Chains A and B, each alone.
Chain A
Amino acid sequence: QDLPGSLGAKEVPSVCEMCFWRCPIVAKVKGGKVVKIEGNPKSPTNGRGDKARVCARGNSGIKLLYDPDRVLHPLKRVGERGEGKFVKISWDEALDEVAENLKRVRDKYGPHAIAYFDHGASAEALREVFKGLGTENYSNEPAFFQCVGPVAVAYINAMGYLASGTMQYTDMANAKAILLVGSHVGENVHVSHVMDFVEGLSKGAKLVVVDPRFSVAAAKADIWLPIRPGTDTALLLAWINYVIEHGLYDREFVSKYCEGFEAVKKAVKDWTLERAARICDLPKDKMEEAIKILASARPHVCIHPGRHSTWYGKGDVYRHQALAVLAALFGGIGTPGGLYFPTHIPLGHLGRVKEINPQPSATPLKEKYPFSGPFPGSPTNEIIQATLTGKPYPIKAWGVCGVNILQTIPNPYQTMEAIKKLDFIFSFEILPTETAIWSDIVLPDTVYLERYDDVYVYDGLPQCYVTARQPAVEPLGEAKSPLWVAKELARRLGFEIFFTESELDIINDKLRGLNLTFEELQKEGGLVVLPAKGAYDRENFKNLFGEKGLKVKLAIEDFEDEDFSPVPVFEPTPAPPKGFARLIYGRVPVHTFSRTMNNEWLHHEWPENHAWINDEVATKLGIRDGDEIVLENQDGKRSFPVKAKVTPGIRPDCIYLPHGFGSRSPKLSRAYKKGASDQFLITHYVQDPFMGSSSHRTSFVRIVKDGKVLDIPELRPVPPEIPRFELAAGSAAGCRIEKHLKHKKRRHKKTHAIEGC
């Protein structure tokens, strides 16, 4: 105890939850407090040798645990929704109120009038309660509908497994070339994923990065292709055509494992590099150089599937399908350096948890979206629409856990309107986020360092493992574990789901599948390494549909059956209206979504975001690096003030905002009003016809500086193939443009007059 630093601390192996990558950790405890978090050195992913890595966020879990703003007592709203006025109430009172309200809504409007937005480990137990209530809207994960939906649908249908979803089975460590399309690994940090990326590069892998912005990954690339946003599929189709025309594909792989080659070949035959160069606004020779680099590395080439893929609403699935086709043409599936197969790790049966499968409604919200299954839940924006309109059926109560819906789902103004229409909304929260302050009841959740939770398996390379979460310290205040809350709530609702009070029982049930107990796991340092099996074994690979042997569908019949194109096609997304730039966004390495901006240490590293503006555009507008500006979108919505980052590292037709800043919750004392929220500028969205995810890159902004609205000059002309986004006639921005133009004329006159004096 007298040793300096974290030396001599009690070490508790557990699992991180600062993001969902869930690295194995060791929490170091001194004097009853967590003083340090390190990686679990036994982990084959973030351990390895004498290292034990956690990222900046993993290191900062302590400051989530001890955040002075934490919700530590059940709260009941006393002011208006969104006003943030609450009183402390007892757990009994809070749970009674939640149960009564949910019951009342169910009895009056039926079970589907209740919806649950969830994400992360805390949300799982409560999800069972919603299933128990009988709603079909029980797992409306923004993680799917606002993030991985398109890439998941593309890869499940093309390859029969989720090559990229929560996990990425990308063997970058052994790749000879890597392609990233919009993925900004390095700024988007998942420890073992970044490790694989860096390892591959250090061993000499060539890197091609397609991104309108000069990302950290682009800075490490051999070729950076600053593509016109929304045209990635055009580039991929031209590359596919080039690869086929020049015989640069893996004939053996294609004939042995692929179906639909002729259909693809026919579909892409008009996609010349020249045509794509014009549409994508890229130099043809660079495009050619890049595809030659990738092709010459085949089959050890990693065509990264991407992850967050809800970009334009139309055509998102085709973009990822095209990436899958390219990977297959190179034979880069089930081979070192390409995409690989996860290892099946059998967990034990959950005898102590009742299995519930709610009956769907007569008019399911996901009905229009043929590919929203096999995942449960309804597209989040359909829930919001149903809440607003009462159609096809009314939704009157929401529960929220682990997701800040106002900083996650496009058009938060609409979400707020929907919340106003609800009879009841509650959240199970750690911090007083925007969602919490819009809730009627807020239940205090435990931080991952305070609870037993679940068994976590890693099923990728270089080796697999099993580990489990356990508490390092007792919960603070009145925070309660998800299992306790779910059990108490179910009891009040008159049913039982969990036939135990101990998470340990559930952990042990699952571990039994591996002939392990929690105790044995602890003796092994909290983690047991398991061999990765069949990562490159194409013959014995078993797909999600239970079929053995890899079969890649270059043309997907199931898509055709639902009147989509079986092969990827380019569907242009409208270009920015005159005077506007496209708003694009991304991650910073020290923050997770909008969750960590209030964390003392992470806030110190990165307190606010900066709006990246192309240097030529900035010069024309008279904006200097560091100037304070406001962004105004096509609907006249304005951001909080944000500093301009003037750089050649972004195209002139985009403005980039790192995601998650600009909190609107005054209860988050550090994060409140720091930087600008991209989400509050994304008011226009398009829903993907495949699975109903909503687009995030279909809003446009211009700059307001010193109260003056500045139009973005169009330095890169838009080709005729690409339609232009039309401002709604009479919309706020439309009117404002006219006003602004008039105003501008007047101002010019005035300026002249002054100069004349």
Chain B
Amino acid sequence: MRHQWAMVIDLDRCVGCHACAVACRAEWQVPVNHDYDGYSFIKDYDQWLEVVSPEGGGDYRRNWVLRLGPERTSKGEIAFTFFPGLCNHCDQPVCVDVCPVDPEEREFVDFKTGKKTTMQIKATYKEPFYGAVLIDKERCIGCGNCVAACPYRARYLNDTLDEPKADKCTFCYERIVHGEIPACVKTCIADARIFGDLADPNSEVSKLVRSGKARRLESEMVKIGPNVYFMGKEKNLELLFKHFAPRKRTWEEVEVRARTRRGVLKMALRKLPHLG
């Protein structure tokens, strides 16, 4: 089996403390957009889609905790749980599909084995060894297509930079290469985040996924192979899926725009004020 980094989030352990979200913000200097203070209180998927507009911008976050409940489930129980989220590093990353940047050949090295491979990549790509979806910041044109395409709202456009760039969770690829663990995992006070390689049958993540306890946050309409899994009491998973399972094929609208290269134009327009 191919390596694939994955994360399982255990809602039975999670206490909703938001340490993960803040640690990520600190580690990667994720800016704060005060127009979106209170992101944690977004209640459902439709509202969530609005917060990151197709034009990019909106809230800035790689990692978040949304709070769900207390409310009654279909069985009449009361549930109160959380949606701790991050990029899903999907098997079929629709964000990569919509990137309008011309592919270039790039050599990749497996940081563990030193093994090399070459691959044609756009500005955003699925890294060949561990399956992390990454961004080549040098080549990103900040068009915002990937931001609009992601049905999980896991990307944002960092327009606080001189040249806006898309940004997202990397599974802390850079930290892992340097022998560290992801920042959100390292700080998780409840040990609710389990990170590992699905290709390793002995890893905790693959055991949990194999057991069927850990579930992908997806729907009939949106099935793109997310590699972040959730587990916990049925009533809590019910709230999570009811409110935040993706239910819009957000990327289908974006492909058209990519072909018209509207994104490139938009980026140029966005830069105009800086010229003045």
Contacts and interface: CB of A to CB of B under 8 A. Distances in A.
A187 B189 CA distance: 12
Contact of A601 (B25, B28, B65, B79): B25
Interface stretch (B8-16, B145-153, B197-205, B242-250): B8-16
Contacts, number: 156
Nearest to A220: B12
A6 B190 contact: no
B69 interface: yes
A608 B34 CA distance: 13
Contacts of A52: 186-187
Contacts of A36: 23, 26-27
A656 B63 CA distance: 28
A431 to B, nearest CB: 18
A601 B22 contact: yes
B26 A601 contact: yes
A6 B172 CA distance: 11
Interface in A656-715: 670
A202 interface: yes
Contact of B190 (A56, A198, A608): A198
A52 B27 CA distance: 14
Interface stretch (A153-161, A189-197, A566-574, A743-751): A189-197
Interface residues of A, number: 55
A531 interface: no
A590 B12 contact: no
Contacts of B180: 7
Contacts of B15: 185-187, 189, 194, 198, 216, 589
Interface stretch (A57-65, A131-139, A269-277): A57-65
A46 interface: yes
Contacts of A279: none
A444 interface: no
Given A590-B17, A605-B18, A214 B80 contact: yes
Nearest to A59: B22
A605 B40 contact: yes
B17 A38 contact: no
Contacts of B39: 604-605
B191 interface: yes
Nearest to A226: B78
Contacts of B174: 3-5, 7
B18 A56 contact: yes
A606 B38 contact: yes
Contact of B189 (A60, A189, A220): A189
Interface string B179-196: 011010111111110000
Interface string B41-85: 100000000000000000000000100011110000011110000
A494 interface: no
Contact of B17 (A3, A4, A194): A194
Contacts of A561: none
B19 interface: yes
Contacts of B191: 51, 195, 198
B21 interface: yes
A79 interface: no
A384 B13 CA distance: 44
B268 interface: no
A649 B28 contact: no
Interface string A34-71: 01111100000010001111111011101000000000
A37 B71 CA distance: 35
Given A194-B17, A606-B38, A59 B189 contact: no
A1 to B, nearest CB: 14
B17 A39 contact: no
B78 A605 contact: no
Given A5-B27, A5-B28, A7-B178, A55 B189 contact: yes
Interface residues of B, number: 48
* Max count, chain B CB within 10 A of own CB: residue among A198, A605, A649: A605
A603 interface: yes
Interface string A202-245: 10000000000011101110001000000000000000000000
Given A38-B186, A55-B189, A219 B26 contact: no
A607 B186 contact: no
A51 B189 CA distance: 9
A602 interface: yes
B37 interface: yes
A648 interface: yes
Given A194-B15, A220-B12, A602-B22, A5 B183 contact: yes
Contacts of B27: 5-6, 36
Interface string A1-22: 0011111000000000000000
B32 interface: yes
The winner among B13, B80, B236 for most chain A CB atoms within 10 A is B80
A649 B80 contact: yes
B26 A62 contact: yes
B175 interface: yes
Contacts of A94: none
Contacts of A35: 26, 29
A463 interface: no
Given A5-B28, A195-B190, A216-B80, A186 B19 contact: no
A552 interface: no
A38 B72 CA distance: 37
A647 interface: yes
A628 interface: no
A600 B31 CA distance: 10
Given A5-B27, A198-B190, A186 B16 contact: yes
Contact of B18 (A37, A214, A600, A606): A606
A50 B69 CA distance: 33
Interface in A477-534: none
Given A53-B19, A186-B17, A59 B187 contact: yes
B12 A56 contact: no
Nearest to A23: B189
A589 B190 contact: no
Given A36-B26, A214-B78, A201 B12 contact: yes
A601 to B, nearest CB: 5
Contacts of A3: 174, 178
Nearest to B172: A5
A743 B174 CA distance: 67
A136 to B, nearest CB: 40
B38 A607 contact: yes
Contacts of A194: 15, 17, 189-190
A601 B22 CA distance: 7
Contacts of B80: 214-216, 218-219, 649
A502 B21 CA distance: 38
Nearest to A46: B189
A649 B187 contact: no
A194 B12 CA distance: 13
A190 to B, nearest CB: 9
Contacts of B71: 647-649
Q: Most A CB atoms within 10 A — which of B19, B180, B189? A: B189
A603 B22 contact: no
9 contacts: A3-B178, A189-B17, A194-B190, A195-B189, A219-B236, A601-B32, A608-B38, A647-B69, A649-B78
Given A39-B187, A604-B37, A648-B72, 11 more contacts: A5-B27, A7-B175, A36-B27, A51-B181, A52-B187, A56-B21, A59-B187, A186-B15, A187-B15, A219-B236, A589-B17
What 9 pairs across the A-B complex have the smallest Cβ distances? A649-B70, A186-B15, A219-B80, A607-B37, A59-B22, A56-B18, A589-B17, A214-B70, A4-B174
